[in-house]
Structure 1
Amino acid sequence: MKAKHGFVCVIAVTLLILGGPRVVSAQTCNPLQLSSCASAIMSSTPPSTLCCSKIKEQEPCLCQYMKNPSLKRFISSPNAKKVAAICGTLFPSC
């Protein structure tokens, strides 16, 4: 049952990321870029190298993502903060 619940959570995060806003600026903010971090955020799996590089790329966008009600609960979750810390990314206080 836990595996099924975890799979559903990963799918839900992916769908939320896919449906998130895309803003073009000096930094391209695209929450889909963080999909490689979904398993680390949803479980105690360590973040991959790809996840860490994407978090660093998207760091300037994290406050913008937290303004989106669909993304906020994942971006501001304790696991997301742990993943950011492991990756050496400062988590913004927005």
Structure 2
Amino acid sequence: MKKGSCFVAIFLVFFLSELLVTEAVTCSFTELIPCVGVITLSQPPSLACCIKLRKQKPCLCGYLKNPSLKPYVNSPNAQKVAKTYGVYLSTPSC
């Protein structure tokens, strides 16, 4: 194998392995701060809220189980925002 093609092969293996690594989600309700105005004040949807909500999706069941957070996550407006961003909360599966 030529040096150039060997380098390309190593680069591709490294690059593809980086794509397969999944990032762990840290569940922190404060990550959803960009969504406060969208949910509580009915402000227009924002890209920042969408990104944070999608990243925090694995945490939403835990938030629903927390009595102090449940009213915010389970509110009709929060549900509407979640559906707008393609994040569906399915309470029964929690």
Instruction: Give me the TM-score of the superposition, normalised by structure 2.
Output: 0.68
In the alignment, which residue of structure 1 is the partner of 2:90? Answer: 92
- % identical equivalent positions: 49
CA distance in 2, matches of 1:82, 1:43: 13
Amino acid at match of 2:25: Q
Secondary structure at the aligned position of 1:46 is classed as coil
In the alignment, which residue of structure 1 is the partner of 2:60? Answer: 62
Amino acid at match of 1:82: K
Name which structure has the greater RCO, CA cutoff 8 Å, separation 6+.
1
CA distance in 2, matches of 1:31, 1:92: 18
Larger Rg: 2
CA distance in 1, matches of 2:44, 2:81: 7
Unaligned runs of 5+ in 2: 1-23
Unaligned runs of 5+ in 1: 1-25
Counterpart selection for 1:27 from 2, 22, 25: 25
How many residues were matched structurally? 69
Partners of 1:42 and 1:79 within 8 A in 2? yes
In the alignment, which residue of structure 1 is the partner of 2:6? Answer: none
CA distance in 2, matches of 1:87, 1:52: 6
Q: Give how far 1:69 is off.
A: 1.1
CA distance in 2, matches of 1:87, 1:46: 12
Once superposed, which parts of structure 1, at least 4 consecutive aligned residues long, lie more than 4 Å away? none
